Each structure stands twice: as structure tokens, then as C-alpha cells.
Amino acid sequence: MTVSVTNKAPELCMPKVMGILNVTPDSFSDGGQFSNINNALAQVEKMIEDGALIIDIGGESTRPGAKDVSVTDELSRVIPLLKAIKSRFKVDISIDTSKAEVMAQAIEQGADIINDVRALQNKNCLKVLAQTNIPICLMHMQGLPRTMQAEPKYDDVISDIKSFFRQRIIACDSAGISKDRLILDPGFGFGKSLVQNFQLLANFSQFQSFGLPLLAGISRKSMIGKLLNTEVDQRLAGSLSAAIIAAQQGANIIRVHDVKETVDALRVLQAVNSNNF
Ligand code: 7PM
């Protein structure tokens, strides 16, 4: 798996679409693990057909207000699924986790990217990843999922997030994780007000200053729902618009639920930017 920054102008390369694999406890509460895995595999197959180049597997733990999940529960949710996908499909798998033990086992089972909403700040994460060579997405979050939306505060949301990235890049480097393995993500919806989320989107291109690949995850988030006053199943048009705005400002990976629609939208942008249709 490589996510590299080319010398092409960023808006000239088509971003990769990362499809979110839905593994909520609901999909685990009926029918036992076999049907759950089959259900997940069907979702993965569809996302690959629709043009996803990366599949992001994550549990429930990062939702605003969510309770912590135990290591055992997270491992039993993620590892069998990762094995099943890896044995059937040739697609890059990203594991959305903040736990060193889950990272280690996932990498052993062939995970291609670690996606950590806590940017490797939890115990042993830096150490585990220093012993490997796979790409890592460092996401910015203010506070913790349970309380992060209560009262997010910044001096300047862009500069504060940039200084967080600078610190985490240094922490990674000191631990033996080189900068060229890192992907940066400002973390839409993670400890940000509606206004701050839209400031981030409007200024997304500023994160290009690190010279690292950028990831944007806005799909169906409450910043779309609050703006449009729509429930989660009515946020597609808003999510596509946000994806295009991020892509036009240099996002290299777009993390989404609706893969086909996002790929179509990105192809329209790509046709215009590359003058090739
Ligand atoms: C409820 C609210 C459920 C929010 C799930 C979520 C990101 C991520 C998530 C992101 C990266 C979601 C989020 N969001 N990882 N994991 N970037 N790197 O919308 O924006 O799926 S969880």
C-alpha cells in the first residue's frame, strides 16, 4: 500500500476512495458471527465493485458519546473479519483502532493501513508501529469521544490542528516512525463546532504544507445534518459536495459510506481538472 504525494498539482490526481465498512453491534446481534461476516463480505465486494481502493474497518468506539470497547471485544470484532476479507479480496484494508494490541494483531493478519483517531497517543502504539512499516493515518481530535462535542475551544482551529500535527510527527519520528509513513486528517466532527468544521473544510488546503497525504472524513456527519437539517439517511448530496470541496483542496483519500456516488462525483471533478474527458 502506498499513498504518496506526487509532484503533480494535488488537484490533478484522483483521490482514493476509502469505503467505510459498517460493523456496528446491531449487525453483530443477530444470526451469530457467520452471517455477520457474510454480510460484511457482501458489503466489501460491493464497495470494491463501486471503486473503493481502501476498506476501513472499525468498531463503535469513536462515535461521539460512545462507551469504550474492551480489547477482547474489539479483537473479536475486527480480526476474523480482516482475515476473511484478506483471503478473498485484493484491496487495501485500513483498521480504525487506537489500541496497540489490535494494531499488532491486525498488522500480523495483513492490514495495510492503521487509522488512529487518537493519533498514536495511547499506550504502546508508537512502539508497536515502529516495528512495522505500514502507513498510519494520524487524526486530530479535541477531547475524547464521550464528551468531545460539549464545548470545543480553539484559538484558531487551523493553526491549533497544525501544531498538533507538528507534535505528533515529532513524536512519531522520535519513536522511529518516519514522516513518509504518515497520512494526516483534521478529524471532522471530533471536538469541533459546526462553524469550526466548516472553517476546516474551507481551509483544508492549508494542511498541504506538511507535504504529506491528507484524508478527509465528512460522509454523513452531523456537520452536514445540522447545516441541512436532515437525518443521517438524507445526507448524500451534502456529503458529496463536501467530498468534492476537500478533493479540490488536495485531499488524497476520501472516507465515505456511499462509494459509487463519491467515485462518480470525483470523476466529474477529475475530468475538469485534468482536461481529459
Ligand atoms: C458516529 C459518528 C459514527 C461519527 C461514526 C463516526 C473518521 C474516522 C470516524 C474520520 C478518520 C464516522 C465516524 N470518522 N477516521 N473514523 N477520519 N481517519 O463518520 O473522519 O464514521 S468514525
State the cell numbers at 245: 470541496
Tell me the pLDDT tens digit for each residue of 241-264. Answer: 999 999 999 999 999 999 999 999
User: What is the distance between the alpha carbons of residues 82 and 93, in angstroms, rounded to a whole number?
Assistant: 8
> Do 53 and 44 contact (CB within 8 A), yes or no?
no
> Do 40 and 23 contact (CB within 8 A), yes or no?
yes
Question: What residues line ligand 1, using a CB cutoff of 6 Å?
Answer: 20, 58, 62-64, 96, 115, 117, 137, 139, 185, 187-189, 215, 217, 221, 255
pTM of the model: 0.93
Spacing of C-alpha 224 from chain mean position: 17
DSSP type of residue 214: B
Which of the following is catalytic: 16, 99, 181, 221?
221
User: What is the distance between the alpha carbons of residues 48 and 271, in angstroms, rounded to a whole number?
Assistant: 22
Provide the percentage of residues in the chain whose pLDDT is more than 70: 88
Phi, psi of 269 (to 5 degrees): -60, -45
Q: Give yes or no: 255 in active site.
A: yes
C-alpha angle 21/68/165, rounded to 5°?
75
Does position 9 have pLDDT exceeding 70, yes or no?
no
Cite the DSSP H helix spans in 176-235.
194-202, 222-228
> What's the gap in Å between 62 CA and the centre of ligand 1?
7
pLDDT at 62 (0 to 100):
67
User: 3-state class of 16 per DSSP?
Assistant: strand
Q: Give yes or no: 168 in active site.
A: no
> What's the gap in Å between 186 CA and the centre of ligand 1?
11
Does position 28 have pLDDT exceeding 60, yes or no?
no
Does position 34 have pLDDT exceeding 70, yes or no?
no
User: 3-state class of 182 per DSSP?
Assistant: strand
